[in-house]
Amino acid sequence: MEIKNFNKYKLKWNIESETVIKPGLETIQAALQKLGNPQDKHKVIHVAGTNGKGSTIAFLSALAKEHGLSYASFTSPSIFDVHDQIQINSIPVTEKQMDEAFLHMQKRGISGMLTDFELLTVTAFVVFEAMELDIVFIEAGMGGRLDSTNVMKKSVAVIPSISIDHTNFLGDTIEKISWHKAGILKYNSQLVIGSFIEPAKTVVYKEVEDKKANVLEYSENFHINNHQYTYKEYSFSHLNPQMIGKHQQSNMALAITALLISGFKLVESNVQTAVKKARLPGRMEKIRDNLYLDGAHNQASIDALVKTIKENFFNKNIHFIVGILKDKDYVYILRKLEEIASSFEFVNFQHERALNANILYKHCTHSEKSVTLDAFDVDLLNDFENGVTIVTGSFYFIAAFKEKTGI
């Protein structure tokens, strides 16, 4: 899977890596060892989970910014290109910083050791090592235990949610997937979790016990009631996140808790401002009053999207513009969206795993449906009466859609 604009650095600095996914940590740990283990320089909050990772890091970043902290983040996938995956104080990494990191990696001889995502992960740590930072936020790419981000000696672990996804790599049951997610927990450390269904909770709590760690659970150890956060002696009122959806209350609470147990003092007025300002491209991202982008692409995120639409756009006509990857459960996605849709427009987009729009058209049972052969040809000016347009199906589709339409 190509990471946009990453190859130009590989070519420029003659560093080779494989375009495959290879779960496991031995090779990336060997590469990091050659580089002096840059991943261990800073305090880290490590976020894994099926959904909510990006939103939680958006809240973490906004909270850090409002409290005057110097911070950095590594997230995936990209929205535009590789630079927005590595950010310093919410500003994408520059070409100069990337060049400096690649020069350092070239000198240490790691060419040919890693996959693309492993190399990108190492790049992020090398960029961060060159800076004095109060905190670093790392998003797991896939799973957790064997994901290339799981290389720090110490970190505060955060898991917003666990559900079925990436079954070809992580397993086909909640228990197997939970084992992977829980693997980011370090010995004698702290874990912050959302509200899990019972099989997931059992697996995660066993990991906590095995690693002699401490767990804080949303609605058990810390709470949000009537827009007020409470945890032990901490209390912050009038919290009104602008990101749409009730699940964002939980993500917000996880972020606040993770920063508190990381040793940072939070001020109520700054917390109030931060949660209002927190934004995340491609997650119910408001483009204008009747147009939203959401990268929902699995069962849990589609369920959350449908619930959010029902809660916020009651009695509105909902037009879906959809592009999906072929390894996703597109039939499930279609059935859920059909529950609330007024019409569908299925779109082809450039990606090696993109599903042909005609297949979506064929499997859709809704009477109002059409196919657009290229994202560039989508007519966003065709606003229908009392309507809301939702662009969804994949973050890669969202990125292609933004690039093509210029929104």
> Which CATH number fits the domain that encloses residue 175?
3.40.1190.10
Place of tokens 């994202």: 375
Q: Are residues 271 and 291 in the same domain?
A: no
Give pLDDT, residue 167: 45
Q: Are residues 329 and 205 in the same domain?
A: no
Q: Are residues 138 and 163 in the same domain?
A: yes
Average pLDDT of the segment spanning 74-85: 89
Q: What is the mean pLDDT of the chain?
A: 92
Residue 2 is assigned to a structural domain of this protein: no
Nearest to 346 by CA among 319, 328, 327, 308: 319
At residue 407, does pLDDT exceed 80?
no
Give pLDDT, residue 298: 81
Find out whether the peptide bond into 77 is cis, omega within 30 degrees of 0: yes
Nearest to 21 by CA among 77, 64, 71: 77
What is the percent of the chain where pLDDT is above 70?
96
Which of these three, 234, 257, 277, is where a domain ends? 277
Q: Are residues 49 and 93 in the same domain?
A: yes
Residue 306 is assigned to a structural domain of this protein: yes
Q: Are residues 240 and 136 in the same domain?
A: yes
Which of these three, 277, 308, 323, is where a domain ends? 277
- CATH number, domain containing residue 347: 3.90.190.20
Domain interval for residue 340: 285-405
At residue 331, does pLDDT exceed 90?
yes
Q: How far apart are CA 89 and CA 396, in angstroms?
A: 24
Q: Are residues 297 and 240 in the same domain?
A: no
* DSSP codes, 235-290: EE------S-STHHHHHHHHHHHHHHHTT----HHHHHHHHHH---TTSSEEEETT
Q: Are residues 303 and 264 in the same domain?
A: no
Domain count, the chain: 2
* Cross-strand bridge partners of residue 222: 218
For 78, 247, 290, 348, 365, the CA distances from 381, given in Å and listed in that order, are: 27, 31, 11, 19, 26
Give pLDDT, residue 364: 97
At residue 219, does pLDDT exceed 90?
yes
Residue 1 is assigned to a structural domain of this protein: no
Q: Are residues 165 and 311 in the same domain?
A: no
